[in-house]
Amino acid sequence: MPKEKKGLEIKKLISSLAWQQRNLPWVLVAIAVIALDLISKAWVSNSLYYGQRIEVLPVFDLVLLHNTGAAFSFLAEAGGWQRVFFVALGVIASLFLWGWMNRLKPSEKLTALALALILGGALGNLHDRILHGYVVDFLAFHWNHSYFPAFNIADAGISVGAALIIWLAFFGKESKT
């Protein structure tokens, strides 16, 4: 690739990260996810001791857990290097999501909502990784003695946003104009 073309590509990439006023509603959605996530984690961290389980419903408990790994505690026992890896991954993913959101057409509102949910969740968990070295998880669903891995509000935002992106890929009718 010639240097001039490569330079244009880098400028285009950097310009896609610039603030765009039309994204204000989606930024507010991401901020709401971050706020709900951090407030709920602070409340649980100050109300429960590590591992304490409080039954809320027969299929749902609150439990304070610390996850040094990724989803479903993947790499939780990796020896510490995963903290730097997941912080870097979170920063890169957040920049990618922001750039993607900035390139959307104004009519692609559902895609923007999905990206805002994912971005808010990514930043909420990134905050935990930077500050604590782990992510606070506290929502535990189960059936009898079979437990789904505990998660948090940030994870819920990421999951709902990703499900919406998948749904839009298969069934979405958003206008691209």
Report helix, strand or coil for 52. Answer: coil
> How far is residue 137's CA from residue 150's CA, in Å, rounded to a whole number?
6
Q: Would residue 61 show up in a list of annotated catalytic residues for this protein?
A: no
Q: Would residue 137 show up in a list of annotated catalytic residues for this protein?
A: yes
Q: Which of 37, 61, 128, 137 is catalytic?
A: 137
Tokens read off for 64: 């304070």
Kindly give the pairing relationship between strand 53-57 and strand 135-143.
unpaired
Q: Closest Cα to residue 41, out of 103, 174, 134?
A: 134
Residues belonging to the active site: 137, 155
